[in-house]
Structure 1
Amino acid sequence: MTEQTATPTAATEEPAVPEQELPPTGAVPAAASEPVPAADAPVTDVPATQPVPAAEPPAAAEQALAVAESVPAPKSSRRVLRAVARWTAAVLVLGGLGTGTALGITSMERTAVPGLATEGDGRWDYPELSLPALPAGSPRPFNEANVAEVHHADVRKLLLPAPAGATADKKLAGGWVSTAQYLSVYQKSKRAELGQVLKDSALRHITARGWSMPDGTSSRIYLLQFNSTAFAEAFRDEISDKTSIGAQLIGSPRTDLDETWSSGGRVENTATYAYAEDKPYGSEQVRHGYVLSGDTLALVVQSRKGKAGTERIPFHQTLILQNQLLG
């Protein structure tokens, strides 16, 4: 038959590297070995016309100059670091945007992603299903306390409801129906025999629902409740078996096991058999299946006139949902 996008975090710009302090290129420390003249020492006058010879720089000054020349200029360093920071921020922002987009796509439904919408596969729009309330103290059919596997709920409430867009069959409106009404789906040559088997099988009652879809597909569902699981199994063996075709339905002279049925969605402890009329079929194609669930046997029939035949997917869907309601 049950969106979010991640907001990328902007990368912050790295703080500027503080400017490195270097000694002035013109300052040369005094040599420790040079004597300092005493305060009372006489000063020798130097003639104004005589040039004063420049003192040779000591070894410590030469080392300081070499260090200053080997260190890059501060302004150039700031420009390089700022350029690196800008490129790093750009890479981080783009990476954040890419990650956010990927997280947004993975969290979205497939049909919400442009270009990845899944087209309808032909399934019908059934209403939300729920199991009916049980009488006080009554267990479900496959509860450990229910050894006989009896459905204590009203089986009329276990019928699958019609999907959206369906036109209800007034003769099969979800109430009780007669044995003759049920046998009318089989070929005339089998009705008397099957009727006798039902009399001998302690049949309690039969309920049914039918509808038709806009594409011309007709659906009918019958639920037969017996007094015990053994009687339900015996009647199932009479009309359907894995090794034989079983009783033929009206409009379906040739019926074989549906090879495309994979038993998907089958409830534990139940058995499901699906059949399909192979080509060449007459004016219509008929598909039908049986669900055995404890004391109750379900028959699901779908047919449609025309060369297109009956669609496989809605038939399997209907069979699975009816199985789940009985489980």
Structure 2
Amino acid sequence: MTVTEPTDVAPDATPDATLDAAVAQEAPAAPETAPKNPRSRKLLGSVLRWAAAVVVCGGLGAGTAAAITSMERTDVPGLATENDGRWAYPKLSLPPLPEGSPRPFTIGNEGEVHHADLRALLLPAPAGATVDPKLDGVWVSVDQYVSLYSKDERPELKQAFDDSALRHITARAWTMPDGTKSAVYLLRFKSVAFSEHFKDYAVHAGTAATTPLEGIQSVGTEALGNDARVPDTVQYATAEKEPYGPEQTRWAYIQAGDTLALVVQSRKGEAAPVPFQQTVTLQNQLLG
């Protein structure tokens, strides 16, 4: 829109022109026009551009929030692979459920049962890993599992399995180029009550009396970051304390309804904490 500048009255204007000017002064004031000063115009333009930017950013932020909150439950958010030691895991997704079966933590699933194939809930190996062909999403016997623990503990653990309504054990293991050895075991019981009882009274997860793994003498609890937390699940991490010989071991239990997971990592020298937390977190997400 073109704004017409008001015309000044000349000194030699006629009486009629002076009257017209007086009438114009009494008339309602015209809307304010843009500042005549070029510097003021520049400032105003900057303000308008910033205002537009705020509106655009606000729209983008709202769009991003909408996208995050509308994620499908079958999409499992992973941890980015960065130069801090994290591994490149493949994109994760939850396996399909049998028709009409609820997820473990939905209303009506009192036993918090995982109805999906337990082997499909195992974390896949990351890029660059050499997978153990004998432990690649296969069923594992009780004897195989209890062999992870010290010999003195095995008879008691076997009896605990007999008393705990165990259904299945499955596992996957791999070795990374830096020598880190990883293994994930999933133990499914008849219900969350049996799973919790085994966790509390057989392996004593999260306590100073936790059942030691084979060859480990001294252990201490380890804190995992907030990223590792998943609603409806609980995790307990443990690290071997010095002196621990040629290699160090870290392990964690994940209590997720009827399923108890065991994640074990060891490496010559020190088992790095970053990939350990990443592995525990992603396995936890698959179970939650």
How many residues are paired up?
A: 252
- The CA deviation at 1:223 is 0.8
Are the structure 2 counterparts of residues 259 and 210 from structure 1 closer, same or farther at C-alpha, using a change threshold of 3 Å? same
Distance in 2 (alpha carbons) for counterparts of 1:165 and 1:242? 32
- State the Cα deviation string for residues 13-65 of structure 1 (Å, max 9, x = none): x957354242439x9x9xxxxxxxxxxxxxxxxxxxxxxxxxxxxxxxxxx9x
Distance 1:101 1:216, change over 3 A: farther
Partner of 1:290: 253
Please give the secondary structure, in 1, of the residue aligned with 2:218: coil
Aligned partner of 1:24 in structure 2 is: 12
Question: Aligned pair in 2 of structure 1 residues 271, 19: CA closer, same or farther (>3 Å)?
Answer: closer
CA distance in 2, matches of 1:119, 1:235: 37
Task: Name the counterpart of 2:218.
Answer: 254
1:266 paired residue among 230, 251, 263: 230
Structure 1: how far apart are the matches of 2:236 and 2:169? 20
Give 2:137's aligned residue.
174
CA RMSD of the aligned region, Å?
3.4
Question: How far does residue 101 in structure 1 lie from its aligned partner after superposition?
Answer: 7.5
* C-alpha contact (below 8 Å) 1:266/1:272 kept by paired residues: no
Is 1:312 aligned to residue 270 of structure 2?
no
The Cα shift of 1:299 comes to 0.6
Of 182, 192, 213, the residue aligned with 1:219 is 182
Correspondence list, 1:137-176, <5 A: 137-176=100-139
- Deviation sequence 1:88-118 (CA, Å, 0-9, x none): 2233344456667888899799xxxxxxxx9
Matches within 5 A, 1:175-190: 175-190=138-153
**Greater gyration radius:** 1
What pairs up with 1:90-239 in 2 under 5 angstroms? 90-95=42-47, 120-236=83-199, 237-239=201-203
Cα deviation, residue 257, structure 1: 1.1
| Higher percent of residues as strand | 2
Once the two structures are superposed, what CA deviation does each residue of 1:206-227 show, in whole Å capped at 9, x if it has no partner? 1001122233222100011223
Whole-angstrom CA distance in 2 between matches of 1:101 and 1:153: 47
1:203–1:225 contact (8 Å) kept in structure 2: yes
Q: When the two structures are superposed, what TM-score results if normalisation uses the length of structure 1?
A: 0.65
C-alpha distance after superposition, 1:219-272 (max 9, x if no partner): 10001122333332232121124333321113432111114555842231x332
Give the letter for the 1:209 counterpart: R
1:173–1:209 Cα contact (<8 Å) kept: yes
Structure 1, unmatched stretches of 5+, are: 1-11, 30-63, 65-82, 110-117
The residue that corresponds to 1:6 in the other structure is none
Change (3 A) 1:88 1:185: same
Structure 1 103/215 Cα, relative in aligned 2: closer, same or farther at 3 Å? farther
How many percent of aligned residue pairs carry the same amino acid?
49
Q: Aligned in 2, Cα 1:293/1:105: closer, same or farther, shift over 3 Å?
A: closer
Counterpart contact for 1:159–1:174, Cα < 8 Å: yes
Question: Which residue, out of 40, 45, 57, partners 1:88?
Answer: 40
| Structure 2 letter corresponding to 1:317 | Q
